[in-house]
A and B are shown apart, each in its own frame.
Chain A
Amino acid sequence: MKVLVTVKRVVDYAVKVRVKPDGSGVDLSNTKMSMNPFCEIAVEEAVRLKEAKVASEVIVASIGPSQSSEQIRTALAMGADRGIHVEVEKELPPLVISRALKSIVLKEKPSLVILGKQAIDDDCNQTGQMLAQFLDWPQGTFASKVKVVGEKLQVTREVDRGLETLELRLPAVVTCDLRLNEPRYATLPNIMKAKKKPIEKLGLKDLNCEPSYGLQTLSIFEPPKRQGGNKVESVAELIEKLRNEAKVI
């Protein structure tokens, strides 16, 4: 079966972003950009399915600026077979992204789409669910274990109560949680090989998708700063302060 996996170019997880003083957004100039960590887990899972001979082909898609091709190359170096890059200039909301992905799915006809559960920039946690709705496919969100059994998929999900297992008939959408796997680092030979793998370039128009949506960002601002940094010298002082100053015990 074919597997489609999606990747998003985001600010590297280790970077602490700065809010622009004029409230127009966060300052991304000279900021290290990387593949969204949850997308790395998605790519790893797809590649493992291929290595286990469950998947016949792994296609990686990204919707983003021209530099997103770097993240597609990373996925190809991890073991994906070919890429699809939908070039867009502006950041688009999950509703539009999932509509565009639907068009890709209808064209490529994968049996399984694997996505990260959320991107660490907008933290929306919506795209996989919206895609599943648009396709009228079942969804296994926040997956920590995925097992293909014939035409079915058993997905163990990380939920507030603990773990839950669903069985989905393929085709289906899966979104990855942290503990699904540990993504590999691409080796140099594989990075070289990835340079020869094809990346198809598309625009939103090719996917019959117009960026219309009902959300408008009015401003981006800094959260209130927490006054911390006070130290105590001993456990006894700590307990005294918690009892008599903070009055929480």
Chain B
Amino acid sequence: EIDPSSSQLQGSSLAAITATSQITSKIGSQENDIHLLIAGYSSDSEAVNKAKEIPQVSKIYVVPPNETSEKLFKYGVAEWLAPCIQQLHEKYKFSHIVAGASTFGKNVMPRVAAGLQVSQVSDVTGVEASDVFIRPIYAGNALSKVKCTDPVKVLTVRSTAFEKAVLKEAQQLPVEELSFTPDTNASKCVSWLSEEVSQSERPDLTSARVVISGGRGLKNAENFKILEALADKLGAAIGASRAAVDAGFCPNEMQVGQTGKAVAPELYIAVGISGAIQHLAGMKDSKVIVAINKDPDAPIFQVADYGLVADLFEAVPEMTKLLDQNAKTAVHS
């Protein structure tokens, strides 16, 4: 998956590469190459050049766009991508077809699996063998170990469970160009109209080192500003609980949780978040969790490494101020 505005490889895809290389290492001596499909970009595009920097990849398939297909491929429209992946599979017979469990992968991959008449394993968080996977169920309250006996394993991979593949110097890789236009009813019945993307200078929520999330305790959209000052200090991304998004305090793409984004930063600061099961499912793999809440019984404290029972409207500005002072002291000393 490529970000259509920046041509950068999405972190979810880089995590999927790592998961895939864990799978291939377990296949053993057989053919175990990792091939990458990039649809909607030409062979000499920045996206393809970037992909050559992924050391685990040994071949790239490119579907160059035409006027009709460019947006449909770039925005990952399933009715176009799924038959494209299917056709590629029919030619090369892959053992596994893998995508990140982003909204892109979740949208496209079940269509691929159904097209190939096989099951899909969603949200893989662990690879036990080339055909045995771990995945969370019941909002992460249980883990399921599943064996997939289908001739091709179709998987989506949870990006917080795997390190992102580290880009290195570009390799000389075989790039195969394919021209593809689907000949299905579904592909003729879909058109991409528009998107609303909020522009932010902050790091991406799913790859930020520090995430500060706000909940219903912030009371309104305006109050999210107090998180911004703290986020500036820590170079953090800002997230939100489902309650805050439902209440209209912030847009949906900020939601952290089972039905929003899964994050696992080094430091997660939950501010005014009670800690519903479905929120915990999206952040409990964070390395260090801080909770600031005035309710001492809030379930968030049970998973927090450092809990502070306090009024967030006092504690957050104080934290920002103290970090500010400390920074100044550090400069002076």
Contact = CB atoms under 8 A, between A and B. Distances in A.
B136 A248 contact: no
A163 B252 contact: yes
Q: Is the interface of B mostly helix, strand, loop or mixed?
A: mixed
Interface stretch (B56-64, B164-172, B215-223, B253-261): B253-261
A229 B118 CA distance: 43
Nearest to A142: B103
B143 A223 contact: yes
Interface in B230-286: 234, 242, 245-246, 251-253, 258-259, 261, 266-267, 277-278, 284
Nearest to B197: A162
A214 B150 contact: yes
B119 A214 contact: yes
Most A CB contacts (10 A, CB to CB) among B3, B121, B258, B305 go to: B305
A144 B142 contact: no
A218 B147 contact: yes
A187 interface: no
B236 to A, nearest CB: 10
B317 to A, nearest CB: 9
Interface stretch (A56-64, A105-113, A171-179): A171-179
Most B CB contacts (10 A, CB to CB) among A95, A133, A228, A241 go to: A133
B78 interface: yes
Chain A, interface residues (CB within 8 Å), range = 35 or more
A98 B113 CA distance: 12
Contacts of A139: 78-79, 107, 111, 186
B186 A132 contact: yes
A57 B266 CA distance: 51
B272 to A, nearest CB: 15
A242 interface: yes
A221 interface: yes
Contact of A235 (B138, B145, B304, B310): B310
Interface in A201-227: 213-223, 226-227
A121 B278 CA distance: 12
Interface stretch (B45-53, B89-97, B319-327): B319-327
B88 interface: no
Interface stretch (B21-29, B32-40, B188-196): B188-196
Contacts of B106: 125, 141-142
26 contacts: A17-B141, A123-B138, A128-B110, A129-B108, A133-B186, A138-B189, A154-B193, A160-B261, A163-B197, A163-B252, A166-B190, A172-B189, A177-B259, A178-B259, A179-B245, A179-B246, A217-B144, A220-B144, A220-B145, A226-B284, A227-B305, A228-B303, A229-B307, A231-B306, A238-B308, A239-B326
